[in-house]
Amino acid sequence: MATRLSRERVVEAAVRLADEEGFDALSLAAVARVFGVAVPSLYKHVESLDALRAEVALVAVRELTDRMRRAAVGRARGEALRALARACRAYVREHPGRYAATVRAVGPDDPLAAERLAALDEALEVIYAVLRGYGIEGEDLVDAARALRSAMHGFALLEAAGGFGLPRHVDRSYEAMLDAFDAMLERWGERMVGSKGGRRAAAGRSPRRAR
């Protein structure tokens, strides 16, 4: 049985288990059971549980980034915002365990720190591209991206936990939130166009790793 193992297959199994059992519940023992092997057999392909969780996080960030990029491409402002946000919500609903891995912090001892930081930067660039469509630039991109990510993340987690019990369809509430964000970002961009000084001087710079 052990001859069937490879790093790729071990990671694929871990990704599936993250969705089925939850990212926090992911263990080497659970992955070993998928292949019918003892845990030590996995160490030929993955160094540790932390390394395996980092692999899952990397896969998930890349998948989510691709979803958001494909959704937003060819669109601008409100259309791009709504397409990106809907794609993000759909990913969370389809892959809750993988999504949980995307928000896992990248520590100094993370086995895939460089790869994960690069992947997270790509995800941010997709969000920044949508925000730039509103005329938001420079360090304001950080503030706007954090606000948007917080709204999407908070809504998705509350929805997943069954936290919306009022008699109104959740889809309508999500769309209302996006309408409000669209209006806010429009005003934010207009404010920047009319501003002068340091903020305008910062336009064009792309903040990195402002998570």
Ordered per-residue pLDDT tens for the chain, 211 residues: 445 899 999 999 999 999 999 999 999 999 999 999 999 999 999 999 999 999 999 999 999 999 999 999 999 999 999 999 999 999 999 999 999 999 888 988 899 999 999 999 999 999 999 999 999 999 999 999 999 999 999 999 899 888 888 888 999 999 999 999 999 999 999 988 877 444 444 545 555 555 5
Cβ-proximal residues to 155 (8 Å cutoff; 6+ apart), any chain: 89, 173, 174, 177
Q: Write down the pLDDT at residue 109.
A: 87
Q: What is the DSSP letter of 135?
A: T
- Whole-prediction pTM value? 0.86
**Which residues, 6+ apart, have CB-to-CB distance to 1 below 8 Å?**
35, 36, 37, 41
| CA distance linking residue 198 with residue 203, whole number of Å | 9
Q: Which of the 8 DSSP states describes residue 81?
A: H
